[in-house]
Structure 1
């Protein structure tokens, strides 16, 4: 039963969304680091936006 939501999520991340996902996740994770997170995370997240 847990496999069905995961499968639906993977089907919605086809094409460019699947390629941009690692950049978006990395940008979000880096952005929570104090002091340097926002300036470093913004360009990484922007790459994900550019791919989409």
Structure 2
């Protein structure tokens, strides 16, 4: 039962985060694009490299 509840809680959290991110993309797309660029920069990917 404990494993089920842990997995359910994790899935619920993932779903909430996904919905929150989707809402932010719709409402503040520029901020979300900047956030994505920051994350990708940590991996050495520059934004202009994405649209070649």
Higher helix content, 1 or 2:
2
TM-score by length of structure 2 reads: 0.36
**Structure ranking higher on relative contact order (CA contacts 8 Å, 6+ apart):** 1
TM-score by length of structure 1 reads: 0.36
Structure of higher CA gyration radius? 2
